[in-house]
Amino acid sequence: MRLASLLVADTPVLAARRGDEYVDIGAVDPSLGTDVGALIASGPDWRLRAARAATEAQPVIGDITFRPLVPRPPKVLCLGLNDVDHAAEAGLPVPDFPVVFSRVASSLIGHNQPIVRPVESDMLDYEVELAVVIGRGGRRIDAADALDHVAGYTVFNDGSIRDYQVRTHQWMLGKNFHGTGALGPELVTPEELPPGASGLKMTTIIGEERLQNGNTGAFVFDVASAVALLSTVLMLEPGDVIAMGTPSGIGFARDPKRFMVPGEICRVAIEGVGELVNPIVDDPARAATETEPKLQTGGV
Ligand code: ZN
């Protein structure tokens, strides 16, 4: 099953994919809610109810806007340096315990929505990642049972502002600029993928350039280990998102460095999970600040 959180004529719609179209399952059964996060939190039998509704739901008609797949996750937990080649390009050792930081829900955007280059930095970078959405919560989950706690998988672009990321030991600020974290387009339930979504190709493409070429089989800590380790500390809740970390090829580690600029379109994809596409735009406030010095110069 493939599910999406849409806006149609400004109204939230919980949709399931049926063939080439989306159908409105929330309209058939209001207990499902109006987005994927609400669905997962609506009770342990959500998958059964959603599948049942999908058989009789009507196609979504009108202009579709994709919301962040889980619009307001209780937590967004991100693993860093979880790929041997990526740790090497960052000049850092492969960690023997996962690097973890968190993102705030308000930094997230949906498929086709713009990634915003802020006023404060040009160092806007891409990161293709597998995102795990938690279905059943819990504490101290055993790695052997961890995959039973997964609602499904999606694609994440962990848009990063590199100078802010390395300003302090904590990466958090560079990972939380507004409008930089793209999540979606669809939740793919686990039965459609290999166990733990392992062995899937991950790519980042901008224009003609293939910038990242990784595999979900190369994680240092796999999905089951990540769920187990994080739940040692935190109470995992339905709708929590765990981003599994990016492979090598980031713009910051290239020579010369390669950052995203307005007008480009960033495509991050994971085999069998989906392709997440986002245009790059400047923060509108940036145009205002950039005209000021020009006006001063012109006045001389
Ligand atoms: Zn990342």
Distance between Cα 81 and ligand 1 center (Å): 8
| 13 & 101 share domain | no
Averaged pLDDT of the chain: 95
| Residue 135 sits in the same domain as residue 225 | yes
CB-CB contact of 6 with 67 (8 Å): yes
Do 138 and 220 fall within a single domain?
Answer: yes
CA-CA distances (angstroms) from residue 217 to 88, 222, 223?
Answer: 17, 8, 10
Which pLDDT value is given to residue 49? 97
223 and 94 belong to one structural domain: yes
Query: How close is the Cα of 85 to the center of ligand 1, in Å?
Result: 14
The pLDDT > 70 percentage for the chain reads: 97
How far does residue 158's CA lie from ligand 1's centre (Å)? 5
**pLDDT at site 145:** 98
Tell whether the model's pLDDT for residue 295 goes beyond 90: no
Q: What is the pLDDT of residues 217-271, one digit of tens each?
A: 999 999 999 999 999 999 999 999 999 999 999 999 999 999 999 999 999 999 9
Q: What is the mean pLDDT of residues 151-164?
A: 98
Residues 15-31: pLDDT tens digits?
Answer: 999 999 999 999 999 99
In a domain, 246, yes or no: yes
For residue 80, report the distance from its CA to the centre of ligand 1, in Å. Answer: 6
Gap from CA of 78 to ligand 1 centroid (Å): 6
- Structural domain contains residue 244: yes
How many angstroms separate the alpha carbon of residue 33 from the centre of ligand 1? 30
Are residues 261 and 135 part of one domain?
yes
pLDDT of 290 reads 72
- Other CB atoms within a 10 A radius of the CB of residue 208 amount to 5
Average pLDDT of 201-219?
Answer: 97
What H or E segment, with its residue span, contains residue 84? Answer: helix 84-89
Based on the fold, state whether residues 170 and 254 are members of the same structural domain: yes
Structure token digits, residue 297: 């110069």
Q: Token digits for 295?
A: 């006006």
Q: How far is the CA of 246 from the centre of ligand 1 (A)?
A: 5
Residue 257's Cβ-side half-sphere holds a number of Cα atoms within 13 Å equal to: 14
Q: 172 CA distance to ligand 1 centroid (A)?
A: 11
- Residue ending a domain, among 66, 84, 99, is 66
Q: What pLDDT, on the 0 to 100 scale, is given for residue 299?
A: 40
* Environment of ion ligand 1 (residues, CB < 5 A): 127, 158, 246
Q: Is the predicted pLDDT of residue 297 greater than 90, yes or no? A: no
Question: Which domain range does residue 126 map to?
Answer: 76-285
Domain co-membership, 80 together with 197: yes
Query: pTM for this structure?
Result: 0.95
Q: Could you tell me if 47 and 181 lie in one domain? A: no
Residue 292 has pLDDT above 80, yes or no: no
- Rounded to the nearest whole angstrom, what is the distance from the C-alpha of residue 57 to the centroid of ligand 1? 36
Distance CA 164, CA 178 (A): 13
Q: What angle do CA 277, 278, 280 make, to 5 degrees?
A: 150
Write down the pLDDT at residue 209.
97
- Specify the pairing of strand 128-134 against strand 115-117: unpaired
Ligand 1 centroid, distance to 274 Cα (angstroms): 18
Residue 6's pLDDT band (boundaries 50, 70, 90)? very high
Ligand 1 centroid–CA 283 distance in Å is 22
Instruction: Mark whether 51 and 117 lie in a shared domain.
Output: no
Which residues, including other chains, have CB under 8 Å from residue 145's CB and lie 6 or more apart? Answer: none
Ligand 1 mean position, distance from CA 9 (Å): 33
pLDDT at 288: 77
Question: 271 C-alpha to center of ligand 1: Å?
Answer: 18
Residue 98 sits in the same domain as residue 236: yes
* Pair (28, 145) in one structural domain: no
**Of 44, 66, 88, at which residue does a domain stop?**
66
pLDDT computed for residue 293 by the predictor: 53
DSSP three-state, residue 143: coil
pLDDT band at 291 (very low <50, low <70, confident <90, very high): low
Note the pLDDT tens digit of each residue in 74-111.
999 999 999 999 989 989 898 899 999 999 999 999 99
> Does residue 272 register a pLDDT over 80?
yes
Residue 249, both tokens: 């090829």
pLDDT tens digits for range 101-139: 999 999 999 999 999 999 999 999 999 999 999 999 999
* Tokens standing for residue 82: 């979880």
CA distance 115 to 277: 10
Whether residue 270 contacts residue 155, with contact meaning beta carbons closer than 8 Å, is answered with: yes
* The pairing of beta strand 160-161 with beta strand 209-215: unpaired
Would 268 be classed as within a structural domain? yes
CA of 183 to the centre of ligand 1 (A): 12
Instruction: Judge whether residue 289 has pLDDT over 80.
Output: no
Residues 85 and 62 reside in one and the same domain: no
**Predicted pLDDT of residue 101:** 97
Give the integer Cα–Cα distance in Å for 252 and 88.
Answer: 13
Ligand 1 midpoint to CA 25 (Å):
32
Residue 283 β-bridge partners? none
Domain termination site, one of 37, 66, 95: 66
d(CA 187, CA 1) in angstroms, rounded, equals 8
Count Cα atoms within 13 angstroms, Cβ side, for 238. 15
Q: Give 16-60 as a DSSP string.
A: EEETTEEEEHHHH-GGG-SSHHHHHTT-TTHHHHHHHHHHHPPBP
Work out the percent of the chain whose per-residue pLDDT is above 90.
Answer: 92
